[in-house]
Structure formats: structure tokens, C-alpha cells
Amino acid sequence: MTNTLAGRLAVNASVPVQASRWPARLDLAQSISGLLLALFMWGHMLFVSSILISQDAMWTITKLFEGYFFFGRSYPGIVAVIIALVFGLFILHAGLALRKFPANYRQYALFRHHMRGMKHEDTTLWYWQVMTGFALFFLATAHLWWMLTHPGNIGPFASADRVWGDNFWILYLFLLFAVELHGGIGLYRLAVKWGVFEGDDPAASRRKLRTVKWTITAFLIVLGLATLAAYVKIGMAHEDQRGERYTPAWVEHPEEHAP
Ligand code: HEM
């Protein structure tokens, strides 16, 4: 048994490899799960940033997901099911993405070498997608596990107490940049890969796509930072009443707010 590289390649070359549709199927599953997660994150940012409108708005959206306006009381179990589905999709996507990670240092070094040599923006974007993907393995898991085990602990005060009182702002600061960069690059690469928006001049439409990508990413990061600052501000002001849940005035004193 030779252990030179050439020898090993010769041995591998002699192993008959059946043409398989599985790599293409797994790629498609990765694209679809990535697209669904990116669209989920746009919705998520909309719901979480409702705190910028008012605490009542964020309370109302939270209660909507808990079925409060439908069943007359809250069922955090509904939120737990949604989180479990998102967590499952996240794990599927991460597992499929592992196939694309450099399998060893040699591949990693080779890629870095090419990236530096080519100075090709899409190649550099892919590198940052891998790096942010790696970070999301840990950052998103911490957030999803906490949410899954505390589904009823969401609201203007409950979220602010967690963001400030439990220092989740540190996790969210890294998570925000990682997820917005990763999601933005992901959607851009999906559009390029599947030829969406590809006009007569592919190079020109790719440049336009990149501009749109960076504009959306910058917008979501600025909105995310403003949202995080709002939760921190409420958390600081609420430090002495930490643990108290938010109730809108029109729920607490309905008689005073009757139409
Ligand atoms: C169904 C699943 C999810 C639920 C219910 C959820 C819920 C929330 C809530 C209520 C907040 C506000 C702060 C808090 O209460 O701690 C928040 C913040 C945040 N979440 Fe999620 N989340 C989910 C999934 C995710 C995923 C998959 C990611 C990224 C991979 C993510 C990224 C973030 C970020 C970055 C923040 C900070 C917000 C900001 O900076 O503006 N979340 N999430």
C-alpha cells in the first residue's frame, strides 16, 4: 500500500464511482432551506423591531404569536412549535452547508491563496459566507435554544430584561452582523446561481445585484442596531422592576380605554 499522494490518487481512481443525483439534490435542499431562513429573518426583524414603534406594538405582535387574540389567552406553546421548526430548518441548512466547508487545512490554505490572488469579489463573498456560517453554528444556537426553552418570556419588558439584564446584547451584537452578512451573501449567491434577475448583460446585472445586496444588508444592520439600542434603553430603565411583565394600559384599565 503506497502512501504517496500520487499512489493514493491512483488507488482512488480505480474505485468505480456511480454518477449520483444526490449532490445536486443536497445543493437544492441547501438553497431552499437558506432561502426560507433568510425570508424568516426578514420577518423576524420586522417583529423584533416593532419596539421602535412602541412597547404596545411589540406586546401586540408577541401576543398575536401566542394566540392571545384568537383564544382569549396566551399559549407560548405555539411560539415553541415555531421556534422548533426554525431550529430544525437551521440544523438541516447547517448540516448541508458542512459539505462546502474546506475539509482540511490544505484546502483552506489553497482557497485563501486563490482568494488573495484573484481578488474576485464573489470569491471573497463566499469566504465571508463560510466564516459567518461558522459563527452562526454557535451564536444562533445559543439564541434558538434560549428561545425554545423560554417561549413565554418574550415582550417589551421580558426581552429588554434579557437583552440588558442578562447581557444578551453581547450575543445579539455578534449575531446581528453574522446573520445579516450571511443571509445577504446567501440571497445574492442564490440569485446569481439560479440566474434570477439576469438581464442581457450578466456582468451589469451582477453589479446591480451586489449594490442591492449591500443596501439591504446595511439597512437591516442599522435597523437591528437601533432595535438593540431600544431594548437596552428599556432594560436600563426597568432594572429595578426586573421580571415585571409589560401590560398595555388599555388591557390593565379597559374601562378607561373603552371606545
Ligand atoms: C422562531 C425563532 C426565533 C424567535 C422566536 C426569536 C425571537 C427573538 C426575540 C423576541 C428577540 C428580541 C430580544 C429578546 O427577546 O431576547 C430576538 C432578537 C434577535 N434575534 Fe431572534 N428569534 C428567533 C430566531 C432567530 C434566528 C434564527 C436568528 C439568527 C440566526 C435570530 C437573530 C436575532 C438577532 C440578531 C436578534 C437581536 C435583534 C436586534 O439586534 O435587533 N433570531 N429574537
Neighbouring residues of 238: CB distance < 8 A, sequence distance ≥ 6: 157, 160, 161, 164, 244
Q: How many domains would you assign to the chain?
A: 1
CATH code (residue 114): 1.20.1300.10
Whether 199 maps to a domain, the answer reads yes
Note the pLDDT of residue 194: 81
Distance 147 CA to ligand 1 centre (A): 8
Q: Is residue 151 part of a domain?
A: yes
Q: Assess if residue 203 is contained within a domain.
A: yes
Q: Could you give the C-alpha distances from 249 to 71, 199, 254, 255, 258, in angstroms and in order?
A: 21, 53, 8, 10, 11
Q: Is residue 2 part of a domain?
A: no
For residue 57, being part of any structural domain is answered with yes
205 vs 192: CA distance, rounded Å? 9
DSSP state of 98: G
The 10s digit of each residue's pLDDT in 186-209 is: 999 999 888 887 778 888 998 999
Ligand 1 centroid–CA 47 distance in Å is 9
Q: What's the pLDDT tens digit per position in 151-181? A: 999 999 999 999 999 999 999 999 999 999 9
CA distance to 40, 108, 111, 162, 251, per residue, from 102 (Å): 28, 5, 8, 36, 55
Of 77, 45, 74, nearest to 60 (Cα)? 74
HSE, side-chain direction, 13 A CA sphere, residue 85: 9
In angstroms, rounded to a whole number, what is the distance separating the alpha carbons of residues 84 and 64? 18
How many angstroms separate the CA atoms of 172 and 174, rounded? 5
In a domain, 121, yes or no: yes
- Note whether residue 120 is domain-resident: yes
User: Of ligand 1's atoms, which has the minimum distance to the CA of residue 176?
Assistant: 35
pLDDT at 4: 60
Using one digit for the tens of pLDDT, what is the confidence trace for 54-105?
999 999 999 999 999 999 999 999 999 999 999 999 999 999 998 888 888 8
Residues near ligand 1 (Cβ within 6 A):
44, 48, 79, 82-83, 86, 90, 136, 140, 143-144, 147, 154, 159, 162-163, 168, 172, 175-176, 179, 224, 227-228, 231
* Domain with 57 in it: 29-244
E strand residue ranges, 8-157: none
Q: Looking at the domain assignment, is residue 37 inside a domain?
A: yes
pLDDT band at 8 (very low <50, low <70, confident <90, very high): low
Name the range with the highest mean pLDDT among 106-115, 172-181, 250-259: 172-181
Banded pLDDT at 123 (limits 50, 70, 90): confident
Q: Which amino acid is at 52?
A: L
Take atom 15 of ligand 1 and give the residue whose Cα is closest: 159
Q: Which atom of ligand 1 is nearest to the CA of 173?
A: 40
State the closest ligand 1 atom to the C-alpha of 136, by its place in the atom list counted from 1. 30
